[in-house]
Every structure is written in structure tokens, then in C-alpha cells.
């Protein structure tokens, strides 16, 4: 049986969620692995959410916001843009593979782009296999 990754998607309400909605209403077929959580803005996505998602069983986390310059709140996506490299550094130091967490800008008209991103990410995370976190923490329980 092929491994089906679970990907948590945090999508901003104004652009990316609407883009995902467009993918749906346009009947574009894409991988069912992403579980979407709608947030009002990509700036609302506290890095803690990403850590929580990963430790609570997600194999990957997808963050989508408005393209730079298009934020409904004018600056929110820039906050996410600045957080992301630092979050990647933090995750890399904890040994989490780079491709498990991804930031993309998706506008309300980019239904096809959203579907392509989800398909591509699903394949990449599938190739990586299940998140190592659960196994490592189980190993810790066993060593004592």
C-alpha cells in the first residue's frame, strides 16, 4: 500500500482559501491529502501552530497567503514572509526535512495553481515517508 501523507494546510481567508474554493467549484481534481484550516490572514499563523501540527501527526504543513502586495490587511503576508525563513531554520535544527513545510502565495483566481501545489507537495512528502517525530519520541520511551 502506498503511504498517504497527511498535510495540514493553513490558508488565508481572502486569497488562498478562495483560490482553493475555486479549484473545487471548477472541479479540478487534486490530491485529497491536504486538510485545510482557514485563517483570516497568513500572519495569523503562529509558528507554534506549525510545531503543533507536526507533533500531533501531520507529515507536512502547507501555508498559503496572498501574493506580496495583495494582502487584505496590507502587511500581513510580509510578516509571514519574514517568519518563514526563521521557522525553516528552527525546523532544520530539529532535523525536520525541509520539504515538509512549504509557503506559497496563491491568489483567489489561482485554483489550478493551488491544485498543482497540493499535488506536488503530496508527492514530495510521500517520497519522504511518514514524519519522523512520532517514531523518535516512541524510541525515547523505549530507551528508558
Partner 1 sequence: MADTKLQLAIYWGAACGGCDVSILDTNEFILEVDKVADIRLWPIAADGKYADVEAMADGELDVALMNGAVRNSENEYICKLLRQKSKIFVAYGSCAYMGGIPGLANLVPRTQIIECAYLTNPSIEPGNRTVPLAECSVNGYTLEIPKFYDRVYKLDQIVDVDYYVPGCPPQPDQAKAAILALVAALTGQADPPPKGAVVGAYERALCDDCPREKSEKKIARFYRPWEIMQDPDKCLMEQGIFCAGMATRSGCGVRCPNSGIPCRGCYGPAPGVLDQGAKLVSAVASIIDSKDPEGIEAALATLPDFTSFANRYSIPASPLQRSHRQ
Where on the chain is the footprint of partner 1 (CB under 8 A)?
A: 46-48, 50-52, 54-55, 68, 78-79, 81-83, 85-87, 89-91, 93-96, 132-133, 136-137, 139-140, 143-144
Measured distance CA(57)–CA(144) in Å, rounded: 23
Residue 26 or 89 with smaller CB distance to partner 1: 89
Residue 13 or 132 with smaller CB distance to partner 1: 132
Q: What residues are paired with 10 via a beta bridge? A: 37, 63
Measured distance CA(108)–CA(15) in Å, rounded: 4
Q: How far is the CB of 89 from partner 1 (least distance, A)?
A: 5
Residue 29 or 48 with smaller CB distance to partner 1: 48
Q: How far is the CB of 22 from partner 1 (least distance, A)?
A: 27
Measured distance CA(11)–CA(93) in Å, rounded: 26
Q: How far is the CB of 94 from partner 1 (least distance, A)?
A: 4
Residue 60 or 111 with smaller CB distance to partner 1: 60
Calculate ∠ Cα 101-15-56, nearest 5°. 30
Which residue, chain included where needed, has cell 506536488?
120
Q: Does residue 26 sit in helix, strand or coil?
A: coil
Amino acid at each position: 500500500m502506498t503511504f498517504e501523507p497527511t498535510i495540514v494546510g493553513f490558508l488565508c481567508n481572502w486569497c488562498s482559501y478562495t483560490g482553493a474554493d475555486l479549484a473545487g467549484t471548477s472541479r479540478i481534481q487534486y490530491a485529497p491529502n491536504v486538510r485545510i484550516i482557514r485563517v483570516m490572514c497568513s500572519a495569523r499563523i503562529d509558528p507554534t501552530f506549525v510545531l503543533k501540527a507536526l507533533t500531533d501527526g501531520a507529515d507536512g504543513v502547507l501555508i498559503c497567503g496572498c501574493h506580496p502586495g495583495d494582502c487584505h490587511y496590507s502587511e500581513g503576508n510580509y510578516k509571514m514572509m519574514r517568519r518563514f525563513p526563521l521557522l525553516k531554520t528552527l525546523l532544520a535544527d530539529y532535523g525536520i526535512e525541509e520539504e515538509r513545510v512549504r509557503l506559497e502565495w496563491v491568489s483567489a483566481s489561482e485554483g489550478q495553481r493551488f491544485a498543482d501545489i497540493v499535488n506536488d507537495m503530496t508527492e514530495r512528502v510521500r517520497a519522504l515517508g511518514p514524519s519522523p517525530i512520532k517514531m523518535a519520541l516512541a524510541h525515547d520511551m523505549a530507551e528508558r
